[in-house]
A and B are shown apart, each in its own frame.
Chain A
Amino acid sequence: MIYWDLFLAFFIPNIIGYGGGPAIIPLVENEVVGRYGWMTSQQFAETLALGNTLPSPIATKMAGYIGYDVAGIGGGLVATFATVAPSLILMLVALGTLYRYRDSIKVKSMSQWVRPVIMVLMGYLTWSFLSEGVGDAGWIHTAIIAAIACVMLWRLKLHPVWAVLLGLVYGGFLLG
């Protein structure tokens, strides 16, 4: 059933995604593109790009949009609920206990040890966007856009919205 699939596709990444919203992205990609095939990785990249230009948490925007895209308003609600509710309920229910153990080395290790795995998942996603870009736009255009985006984001420290706009304008004029 589609709603159940949507629930699982967003519940699992969020319940294992230590490290906040961005850590969840490669896990969501794994479900949405890899397992269920609701989107191509190109569509996922577009959604992520647009999501990065809008305010508010990235994980819930992705969930709301992908859920809506797959199964309408009900789908958007289910996916958003699966993203927000479990960890929030956990937090409210266990607030007292967690407060006592917040400095525990075990609890800290959980989020620290997961980081290298998230790093690899993100690295892999970077690679798949690279091959996607080279496949569609050719390596020259990909290299030019990526180089300008690097300068904008890393050297000039501009907001991502400007880099995304650059990609859109460049693509609209030179790749269309």
Chain B
Amino acid sequence: MPSSLTTQRRLFVAFLRIGLLGFGGGPSMIPLVRAEAVTRYQWMNDEEFGDVLAIGNTLPGPIATKMAGTIGYRVGGVLGCINAVLAVIVPCIVAMVVLLGLFTRYRDQRWIQGMSEGVVPVVMVMMAQLTWDFFQKSRAVLGWIVTLIMGAIAGGLIYGLDIHPGLVIAAILVAALLRPDRRRERSGETES
């Protein structure tokens, strides 16, 4: 059994590596987390890892920090939890603050202005891709008709009637919870 200091150091190094290599945001980091927690340090086996991932997916919020916190807590208690979360997020937040700070300082330069205009269409394309991804995921489970109808109703409420999206989502979550649980009859079906 390694000393607790060694454990904390390993947790920090593992999640620092995950944070720095995790280009593409949270979901792209899942295989990296598995490589550290299961393969390299053997803090858990594949099945336990799958459970943590499944539970994380049923909760809101970013997946990467939920996984870091849970694994950190299992391995090193409350300190391990804080340690792992900080290791995964802090370095890149600092990098972001520094880079955007430089960008803002030279904002008056014409070519910096041009750069900030040139990047907007790129972000638009990325956002379009995410929209499409969510449509595909939703279609796979709900079918495209239900997806489009739900989308149209939500759009009407949010942009037509100016209702806060949080209220619309909260209403849907309550509806999902009130849904009759027919797990037993449907346990044979697989979803997404």
Contact = CB atoms under 8 A, between A and B. Distances in A.
B13 interface: no
**Which DSSP category, helix, strand, loop or mixed, fits chain A's interface?**
helix
Contacts of A84: 61-62, 65, 69, 85, 89
A66 to B, nearest CB: 10
A141 B141 CA distance: 38
Contact of A121 (B19, B124, B165): B165
B interface bracket (residues with beta carbon within 8 Å of A): 35 or more
Contacts of A117: 150-151, 154, 158, 165, 168-169, 172
Interface string A85-124: 0111011100100110111111111111111111111111
B165 A103 contact: no
A139 to B, nearest CB: 10
Contact of A58 (B26, B57, B60, B135): B26
B73 interface: yes
Point out which of B88, B115, B141, B192 has the most chain A C-beta atoms below 10 A from its C-beta. B115
A145 B66 contact: no
Nearest to A121: B165
Contact of A57 (B20, B65, B159, B183): B65
B114 A176 contact: yes
Contacts of A160: 23-24, 126
A161 B23 contact: yes
A136 B120 contact: yes
Given A27-B165, A27-B166, A117-B154, A60 B119 contact: no
Interface string B41-65: 0000000000100111111111111
Interface string B118-133: 1111111111111100
Contact of A159 (B24, B122, B187): B24
B93 A64 contact: yes
Nearest to A161: B23
Given A14-B60, A171-B114, A115 B175 contact: no
24 contacts: A13-B166, A15-B61, A18-B169, A22-B25, A24-B62, A25-B127, A46-B120, A55-B92, A83-B62, A88-B85, A92-B69, A108-B191, A111-B58, A112-B192, A113-B142, A115-B138, A115-B142, A119-B147, A126-B131, A133-B121, A141-B117, A153-B125, A159-B24, A167-B121
Given A20-B27, A98-B58, A149-B125, 18 more contacts: A18-B173, A24-B61, A42-B116, A45-B120, A48-B126, A56-B20, A56-B93, A59-B62, A60-B65, A64-B96, A76-B93, A98-B59, A106-B179, A112-B142, A119-B135, A126-B127, A145-B122, A164-B119
